[in-house]
Amino acid sequence: MFILMCPCIKDPRLRARGITTQSDIREFSACIRRCEDFSVEIVCLPCPETIYLGKNREPGSFLEKLNTKEFAELIERLSEDVKKLIDEKGEPLCIVGVDSSPSCGVNKTYYSDVKENKRGAFLEKFSNISAFDVSEFSKYKIYLAAPLFSSAEQNFNEKLAGILRKNMFLVHLPQEIGDNKPMRDELQNRKIFDENLRALKEADIVVSVIDGADADSGTSWEMGYAYACGKKIVSLRTDFRRVGASECTNLMLEESSIVVSSADELLSVLNPPNVAKFSRKN
């Protein structure tokens, strides 16, 4: 399995002069690590802007720099080459592009002097293939917050973690580091706390399980910490009981997260590149 990736993600020197930030570099690196973590091949697309305008070029919009017959012919030739590659290798998992790019924007592009909500000129040639901006594709580290005090709870958590991992998410599950052991000394408690806190800080997304008449206290703490850090929180509640006419669970938990009722809904919100086609490297 492979993805098509805009080449400036692997080599930011291909971008227009002065537009790459340290935040961009971190996101680019995370996109590459995600593919490495799940043994997904990266196939770089050609860079039509570099071919047409050269390296070390000034930034500019499509209308300003690329609205020519020559550029249209170039991206047509390049897209035919990519389609031949797809015929040989099979359908890619997705395309990873870079928003704002006049050629390779996914959701937004500088078509004129303001961003417009559409794909760049080159990625438009592959409208039948799902595409992700680097800012979305780079967010794949999940902290799975859930009660873990019974075999049923632990089995559910393992199943949910497995579903997420099959969809290219790196999952921290506290019970896998001993958080479900009943007999612990103070040193072990501190070690588990520190490791969970580190994972929470590093997580891009927190997925919480909030079943029950009242949500687990540890899960609630983890959700509160994640919310204070500005992290995305998606809460899974399969329990059909409600706590009020307009609330399915605790108001503070519900208002601080996106609440879903099934694993399918959870995946819909997380929007992975594809489903269940990968095995993470051991």
CATH assignment at residue 196: 3.40.50.450
Residues 193-210: what's their mean pLDDT? 96
Task: Round to whole Å and give the CA distance between 44 and 95.
Answer: 10
pLDDT for residue 35: 97
Statement to judge: residues 215 and 250 lie in one domain: yes
Residue 125 in this model has a pLDDT that exceeds 90: yes
Average pLDDT over residues 220-240: 95
Do residues 231 and 199 lie in contact, with contact meaning Cβ atoms separated by under 8 Å? no
Do both 112 and 213 map to the same domain?
no
Q: According to the model, what pLDDT value does residue 180 have?
A: 65
Whether the pLDDT of residue 276 is over 50: the answer is no
Same domain, 27 and 94: yes
Do residue 205 and residue 116 come from a single domain? no
Give burial (CB, 10 Å; 0-12/13-18/19+) of 21. Answer: exposed
Residues 148 and 164 placed together within one structural domain of the fold: yes
Candidate from 28-32, 43-47, 66-70, 175-179 with smallest mean pLDDT: 175-179
What pLDDT does 4 receive? 97
- The confidence score (pLDDT) of residue 278 equals 46
Tell me how far apart the alpha carbons of residues 233 and 245 are, in angstroms, rounded to a whole number.
23
Q: Which band of pLDDT confidence, cut at 50, 70 and 90, is reported for residue 183?
A: low
Which residues have a Cβ under 8 Å from the Cβ of 163 and sit 6 or more positions away?
Answer: 263, 267, 276
CA count, 13 A, side-chain hemisphere, 123: 30
- Pick the more confident residue, 112 or 214: 112
Statement to judge: residues 124 and 175 lie in one domain: no
What's the pLDDT score for residue 244?
67
Reported as a pLDDT band with limits 50, 70 and 90, residue 280 is very low
* 150 plus 80 within the same structural domain: no
Write out the residue range of the structural domain in which residue 77 sits: 2-137
User: Average pLDDT for residues 92-104, to the nearest whole number?
Assistant: 95
Helices (H) and strands (E) in the chain, counts: 10, 9
Q: Does 257 share its domain with 225?
A: yes
At residue 279, the pLDDT reads: 42
Q: Give burial (CB, 10 Å; 0-12/13-18/19+) of 274.
A: middle
The percent of residues in the chain predicted with pLDDT above 70, rounded, is 94
Domain boundary, last residue among 89, 121, 137: 137
Give residue 246's pLDDT band: very low, low, confident or very high (50, 70, 90). low
Do 44 and 61 reside in the same domain of the chain? yes
DSSP state of 209: E
The last residue of a domain, from among 137, 171, 205: 137
- Of 70-79, 224-233, 271-280, the poorest mean pLDDT is in 271-280
| Per-residue pLDDT band at 277 (split at 50, 70, 90) | very low
Per-residue pLDDT, 282: 39
Q: Say if CB 192 and CB 174 are below 8 A apart.
A: yes
* Residue 12 CB-density burial (10 A; 0-12 exposed, 13-18 middle, 19+ buried): middle
- Inform me whether the pLDDT recorded for 57 exceeds 60: yes
Query: Is the residue at 53 inside a domain?
Result: yes
pLDDT exceeds 70 at position 76: yes
The residue-averaged pLDDT of 9-32 equals 96
User: Domain for residue 282, yes or no?
Assistant: no
Q: Is the pLDDT of residue 143 over 70?
A: yes
Average pLDDT, the chain: 92
> Is 115 among the domain residues?
yes
Q: Return the pLDDT at 43.
A: 98
What is the band of 219 on the pLDDT scale with cuts at 50, 70, 90? very high
Residue 276 domain flag: no
DSSP per-residue string spanning 61-127: -HHHHT-SHHHHHHHHHHHHHHHHHHHHH---S-EEE-TB-TTT-SS-B-SSSS-BSS--TTGGGGT
Return the pLDDT at 242: 74
Mean pLDDT of 16-27: 95
Total count of domains within the chain: 2
